[in-house]
Structures are given as C-alpha cells and as structure tokens.
C-alpha cells in the first residue's frame, strides 16, 4: 500500500516520463523486447520500469546496490507484472545473485547503473550475452567501466552513455546529488549544517553540487581534488582547497564524491576530530575505507538508524552514514523526482534509440545523440511552461556568415 502510494506520488511529478510512456503504450514500441534493469529501486525507478512494461516490454529489475532498495516499492512493483529481484540490506553475494536473475530473462536491452550487469554479462553470462543488442548506462562510474571494456576490445554490444547527456549529468549529478546527499545527511543525523566545516572530496559534477548546497546551508566548505583544473575551478567558486591531510583535522562532516577508492582511509581517520561524520556520494562503497576503520576501531555500534559509531583506541568517535554507501539513496529517497524525470526520459528515449538503430551501431560506447538531448530540454521547458527566445532569420544569417 505504502509502496504503491510512493509510486503514484512520484508519477504526479514526472511529466516527461508520463508523455514518453503514453507514446510507448499507444504505439506498443517495445513489443517483444526483453529489458533487464539494475537501478536503485525506489519510486521514480519503479515508474521507469512501469513505462517500459506498458510500452510492451518484458521487464526484470534489481537494484544497483545492496542498500538502495525500498522494499515497499519493490513489493508494489510486482503487482504491475514486473519481475523484481531486490531487497534492502542483502549481502554482496545475494546482490550478484539478483543481478544474475534479471539476466535470466535473456534480455535484448540492459539498463545499468554502475556497470554491474554489463560486467557480469562479459565475465559470467556468455549464455545470454548474444541476445543483447545494447545497453544504457546511468552513471559516471558505469560509463568508465564500460569504456575500459571497450579499450580492452572486450565490449560485445553498443552502450549508450546516458550519464553523459547534458540533460543528465548537468542536472542529476550536480543539482540532484546536491540536494539528495544533504537530504540523506540531514534526515539521518538531524544536525545543523550552518557553521560546520564540510569537506567535499572531488569537484566533479557531483562534488560541485554538494559543495554548492553546503555553502547555501551556511557551512564553511573545503574541497579536496587531484585534478589541478578542477581545484582551480573550486577555488574560483569561492571554496577553500587543501590536501585531505590538512582537511582531515578540520572537518566536521566529510562527503566523498570522486568515483575513486581509498579517498578517506587510515591515514586520515587518525587525524580526525572526535564526532566527525563521514558520508559517501560516489557509486561504490570504496571511497571511505571501511576496512581500515574497522581495523583501527576498538568497537562499533549503531547509534541511530543508518549511523554507525566507530570508537578509536584513543576514545575518539567517528560516525559513518549508510555503511559508506551512496548516502542519498541508502539514507534517503535519492534525487528529487523532477530531476529523475529528466534522467529517466534520457534512459527511455535511449532505449528507443537502441531499438531503432542497433543494427548500425558497433560494440562501443556512444554518446546520447545531441538532438535527443536537446529535444528533452525542449520538453522540460514546455512541461514547466518556460518560454525562451528563438533566433530570428537575421540572427541566424549573422551567426552563419563568414
Ligand atoms: P566526475 O568525473 O565529474 O568527478 C570526479 C572528481 O573526483 C574528478 O574531478 C576527479 O579529479 C576527482 N577525484 C578523483 N580521485 C580523487 C581523490 N583521491 N581525491 C579528490 N578528488 C578526486 O564524476 P561525477 O559525475 O562527479 O561522479 C562522481 C561519483 O559519483 C561517481 O562514482 C558517480 O558514478 C557517482 N554518482 C553518484 C550519484 C548519486 O546519486 N549519489 C549521482 C551521480 C553520480
Ligand atoms: N533514484 C534512482 N536512481 C537514482 C540515481 N542513480 N541517483 C539518484 N537517485 C536515484
């Protein structure tokens, strides 16, 4: 009941996906298509799965992380005739088992978030890979993993880098995570952000959003980076830049957003203040090195839902949110609905693009076509009744003459 209400509420705020669904349904565009999905399973994701199913597809879904399934939504989704294999809090082994189960339908199309399904197909599921005509990848880390497969000449089918569409990363990675990471941190800890020293590791699209919103809350924001250009950008945006070595001593709240491993490990835990809060917004739970923390801690306990307290030998306490998994999904509901409406519009139209064009595509990673991206932006403006100017004939002539 609760899950169905959540799905309905999200649907009310997804005008783009609703229009795409209508077209898919009326034209039965996805008839005879089997789609396997690994996406964080919450209410917005459920609406994408329903839209694809209503378009005629057979859909099987799992979450793209062991800790990001909302069980009530997963249960409600089964009532829509979708094969659901997901539970919150499962082990890594059970998670892989669920990924395998969604692949058992012998999919034509994969929708992946982080690259686990594509990876599994290439390593263990040779039995079903030949049916796959292509995949759509949701996030930066997944696109990087797919590009590695391509570089090693192992990739077996075309992949559309949904993440790289302007209508995706400029909004989802930046403003989406900017809001939802703080939603997760605030609803989990209930602490005041103003006046706190917030350390953001990584100033890519996700880091930019998190830093920007932290500043809005009145925090003093420190950014750590490894890329000199990004560090300069953060500096010009008004943030303090330093190495993690120095930042570790100052931070009250740390948020990692790098897509990299060992960003905060024993080198830095040892320097942190008593009471420091640690959260991760990057795809995998490798940014805050939990293994190190468990090793140097003399004990740990859950002090509040989704907060684990680690007590170090000298008595200092460090607090990890959502086991170091994506804080916006493990500790909250993920991005705002309207943002995911945009991301999933890109997903749905990329699925349609694959169906129509796969015969002409090679086994490589493709960007989302520019016209498709622009079309979604037009649809967004129209849905929110935002009007923009159009170039006059004279302006076009002026801009195109030599
Ligand atoms: P990005 O490539 O734009 O940015 C990553 C940044 O981290 C780069 O600027 C890089 O120089 C920096 N970096 C790498 N190693 C570092 C280190 N050791 N210390 C400091 N900085 C370091 O990527 P992005 O789009 O911002 O995504 C970042 C991560 O977040 C990825 O794993 C992505 O999949 C994930 N993501 C999560 C969500 C979410 O909902 N939580 C949404 C979108 C993306
Ligand atoms: N909800 C569903 N998928 C999501 C994602 N990749 N990021 C944030 N919220 C989401």
pLDDT, position 182: 99
Segment 69-74 mean pLDDT = 98
Assess contact for 105 and 60: CB atoms under 8 A: yes
Q: What mean pLDDT is reported for the chain?
A: 98
Residue 37, helix vs strand vs coil: strand
Kindly give the distance from the C-alpha atom of residue 95 to the centroid of ligand 1, in angstroms, as a whole number. Answer: 23
Kindly give the distance from the C-alpha atom of residue 168 to the centroid of ligand 2, in angstroms, as a whole number. Answer: 11
347-356: b or e for each residue (b if 16 or more CB lie within 10 Å)?
bbbbbbbbbe
Instruction: State the Cα–Cα distance between residues 319 and 316, nearest whole angstrom.
Output: 10
Q: Which secondary-structure segment (H or E) carries 212?
A: helix 205-216
Using the predicted structure, report yes or no on whether residue 374 has a pLDDT greater than 90.
Answer: yes
pLDDT, position 277: 99
Kindly give the distance from the C-alpha atom of residue 210 to the centroid of ligand 2, in angstroms, as a whole number. Answer: 15
Kindly give the distance from the C-alpha atom of residue 205 to the centroid of ligand 1, in angstroms, as a whole number. Answer: 7
Kindly give the distance from the C-alpha atom of residue 335 to the centroid of ligand 2, in angstroms, as a whole number. Answer: 6
**In this predicted model, what pLDDT tens digit does every residue of 333-371 receive, in sequence order?**
999 999 999 999 999 999 999 999 999 999 999 999 999
For 301, phi then psi, to 5°, come to: -160, 155
> Which residues surround ligand 2 with Cβ inside 6 Å?
39-40, 42, 44-45, 113, 138-139, 176, 328-329, 334-335, 340
Using the predicted structure, report yes or no on whether residue 281 has a pLDDT greater than 90.
Answer: yes
**What is the number of the ligand 1 atom nearest to the C-alpha of 205?**
26
Kindly give the distance from the C-alpha atom of residue 222 to the centroid of ligand 2, in angstroms, as a whole number. Answer: 26
**In this predicted model, what pLDDT tens digit does every residue of 29-40 receive, in sequence order?**
999 999 999 999
**In this predicted model, what pLDDT tens digit does every residue of 192-251 receive, in sequence order?**
999 999 999 999 999 999 999 999 999 999 999 999 999 999 999 999 999 999 999 999
Pairing of strands 297-304, 307-312: antiparallel
**What is the number of the ligand 2 atom nearest to the C-alpha of 177?**
8
pLDDT, position 130: 97
pLDDT, position 235: 98
pLDDT, position 1: 78
**In this predicted model, what pLDDT tens digit does every residue of 117-140 receive, in sequence order?**
999 999 999 999 999 999 999 999
Segment 297-306 mean pLDDT = 98
Segment 316-339 mean pLDDT = 98
Using the predicted structure, report yes or no on whether residue 184 has a pLDDT greater than 90.
Answer: yes
| CA-nearest residue, atom 8 of ligand 1 | 204
**What is the number of the ligand 2 atom nearest to the C-alpha of 45?**
2
- Point out the ligand nearest to the CA of residue 346: 2
- Point out the ligand nearest to the CA of residue 206: 1
pLDDT, position 75: 98
pLDDT, position 391: 98
Give this prediction's pTM.
Answer: 0.97
Report the side by side order of strands in the sheet with 134-137. Answer: 83-84, 58-62, 34-38, 109-112, 134-137, 159-161, 365-367
**In this predicted model, what pLDDT tens digit does every residue of 73-83 receive, in sequence order?**
999 999 999 99
Map out the domains of the chain with their CATH numbers: 2-168+336-383 (3.40.50.1480), 175-330 (3.40.50.720)
Q: Please give the share of the chain, as a percent, with pLDDT higher than 70.
A: 100
């Amino acid at each position: 009941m609760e899950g169905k209400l959540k799905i309905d509420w999200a649907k009310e705020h997804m005008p783009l996906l609703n229009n795409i669904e209508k077209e898919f349904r009326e034209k039965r565009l996805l008839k005879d298509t089997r789609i396997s999905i690994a996406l964080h399973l919450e209410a917005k994701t459920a609406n994408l799965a329903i839209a694809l199913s209503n378009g005629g597809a057979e859909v099987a879904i799992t979450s793209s992380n062991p800790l990001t399934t909302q069980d009530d939504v997963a249960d409600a989704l089964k009532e829509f005739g979708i094969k659901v294999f997901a539970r919150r809090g499962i082990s890594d082994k059970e998670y892989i088992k669920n990924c395998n189960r969604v692949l058992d339908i012998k999919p034509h199309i994969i929708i992946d978030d982080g690259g686990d399904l594509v990876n599994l197909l290439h390593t263990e599921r040779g039995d079903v890979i030949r049916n796959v005509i292509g995949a759509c990848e949701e996030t930066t880390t997944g696109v990087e993993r797919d590009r590695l497969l391509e570089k090693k000449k192992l990739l077996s089918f075309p992949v559309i880098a949904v993440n790289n569409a302007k209508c995706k990363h400029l909004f989802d990675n930046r403003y989406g995570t900017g809001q939802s990471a703080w939603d997760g941190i605030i609803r989990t800890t209930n602490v005041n952000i103003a006046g706190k020293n917030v350390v953001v590791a990584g100033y890519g699209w996700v880091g930019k959003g998190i830093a920007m919103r932290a500043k809005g809350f009145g925090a003093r924001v420190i950014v750590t980076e490894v890329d000199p250009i990004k560090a300069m950008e953060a500096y010009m945006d008004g943030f303090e830049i330093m190495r993690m070595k120095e930042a570790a001593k100052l931070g009250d709240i740390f948020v990692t957003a790098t897509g990299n491993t060992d960003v905060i490990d024993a080198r830095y835990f040892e320097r942190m203040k008593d009471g420091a809060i640690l959260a991760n917004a990057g795809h995998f739970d490798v940014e805050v090195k939990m293994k190190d923390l468990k090793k140097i801690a003399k004990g740990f306990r859950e002090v509040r839902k989704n907060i684990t307290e680690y007590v170090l030998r000298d008595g200092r306490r460090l607090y990890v949110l959502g086991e170091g998994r994506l804080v916006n999904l493990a500790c909250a509901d993920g991005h705002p609905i309207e943002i995911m409406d945009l991301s999933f519009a890109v997903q749905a139209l990329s699925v349609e693009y694959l169906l129509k064009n796969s015969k002409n595509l090679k086994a490589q990673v493709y960007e989302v076509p520019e016209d498709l991206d622009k079309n979604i932006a037009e649809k967004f403006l129209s849905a929110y009744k935002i009007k923009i100017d159009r170039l006059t004939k004279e302006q076009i002539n002026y801009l195109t003459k030599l």
